[in-house]
Amino acid sequence: DAGVTQSPTHLIKTRGQQVTLRCSPKSGHDTVSWYQQALGQGPQFIFQYYEEEERQRGNFPDRFSGHQFPNYSSELNVNALLLGDSALYLCASSLVRGSYEQYFGPGTRLTVT
């Protein structure tokens, strides 16, 4: 049973550029959440998608946007990258009923120079 997968593993971008990160949920899961984990800190909630709609959003600017596809996979887009966007981006999947139990992928390490 495949778990949550994310791509790419690592990414280096320049300030002002745009980036797209991808996530495939665990088989059978229908809800995807995204988190940002800065170095040495706990993950911070960005947003959650269900039925291709943003269901909940954390305290992140509009430069952060997302999408969920009919097969439940998801993308996180970040525009106008800042140095402070350098972090590990984690995707988590769950079932909308019982979405408290979230399973995390290995993350994408984004470095902005």
Partner 1 sequence: GDSVTQMEGPVTLSEEAFLTINCTYTATGYPSLFWYVQYPGEGLQLLLKATKADDKGSNKGFEATYRKETTSFHLEKGSVQVSDSAVYFCALYNNAGNMLTFGGGTRLMVKP
Residues in the site for partner 1, rule: CB under 8 A? Answer: 4, 33, 35, 40-45, 48, 55-56, 58, 90, 92, 99-107
The DSSP bridge partners found for residue 19 are: 78
- The nearest distance, CB 15 to partner 1, in angstroms, is 25
48-53 contact pairs (CB < 8 A, 24+) = 48/99, 49/74, 50/96
- The nearest distance, CB 82 to partner 1, in angstroms, is 22
Q: Say how far apart CA 18 and CA 112 lie, in whole Å.
A: 10
- The nearest distance, CB 16 to partner 1, in angstroms, is 28
Main-chain dihedrals φ then ψ at residue 53, nearest 5 degrees: -120, 150
| 19 vs 48, beta carbon nearer partner 1 | 48
Q: Which amino acid is at 21?
A: L
| 36 vs 81, beta carbon nearer partner 1 | 36
- The nearest distance, CB 71 to partner 1, in angstroms, is 21
Q: Say how far apart CA 61 and CA 64 lie, in whole Å.
A: 6
| 54 vs 61, beta carbon nearer partner 1 | 54
| 44 vs 86, beta carbon nearer partner 1 | 44
